[in-house]
Structures are given as C-alpha cells and as structure tokens.
Amino acid sequence: MAGPVLLAGGNPQIPKGDGDAPVQAYIAAMPGWKSAVGRQLDALIERSLPGVRKAVKWNSPLYGVDGTSWFLSLRCFDRYIKLAFFNGRGLDPVPPVESKVPNTRYLHIHEDEALDEAQLVDWVRQAAALPGWIP
C-alpha cells in the first residue's frame, strides 16, 4: 500500500474537508516524528477549546471558533512544523517568528524540542479570542 503523497517540504497532500476526520488524516500522514507532535498539538488545542472547529484547506489543518474565520494552522516542512497564528501580533508574548503578512506570527517546532504546553495553551486561548483570518 502506497503512503500519503508528500508535497514540497514534506507537507502531506490531503483532500480539503471540514471536521475532525480530514485533520486526523493529515496528522496520520505527517512524516516521521511530526505525526506524534501533530497528535499532541491537536489534543492540546481540543483540550484548550472544547468544540473547536477544524478543517483541512490548502493542505493545512485549520482551527477556528466562530464558524467563519480561522485563528491557527499547522504545516509540515522538512525540518519543522510551522504553527501560524493569523492574528499573532496580538498575542502576549508575541510568537517568535515573523511573517511577511503583518499580523501573522509563527512558532516553529523542531524534532526533539520540548513543547512549552502552558505557553501554547495560553496562545491558543488568546488567539481564539481575537478576530480570525477569513479566506
């Protein structure tokens, strides 16, 4: 049986769809160590925001709360997972990696790097309370 198709940088190619199932398919298709971290991140987001809205669009899991916008996405790259906080400039503290998009900020998670779960929960809750990105 053939494995998932990986796009440039090792990002899984998953058909777009709403709900938990496409997000779980994406996480299962994340290569190597990234799948376990993806499960950890998804569980952390669900615990932080029960009933969080999920979808896969543009080959990335998206998370939202209001039914129309998104506050966070995940994406695989060769050496890290990128968390994109779409209104990240409004978080305190601001996530460490800048974007070309003025309000977006990133967190890069590398292999064997301990996650600061308390900080992630805080950012997720803050991000969900801010206006989200509407595609």
Q: What is the pLDDT of residues 57-92, one digit of tens each?
A: 999 999 999 888 999 999 999 999 999 999 999 999
- In words, the CATH class of domain 8-129 is alpha beta
Average confidence (pLDDT) over 33-49: 97
If we measure between CA atoms, which residue out of 82, 77, 76, 49 comes closest to residue 63?
A: 49
| Maximum alpha-carbon separation in the chain | 46
Question: So where are the chain's domains?
Answer: 8-129
State pTM to two decimals: 0.94
> Strand 53-57 and strand 60-64: pairing?
antiparallel
**Torsion angle in degrees (nearest 10) through CA of 60, 96, 87, 79:** -10
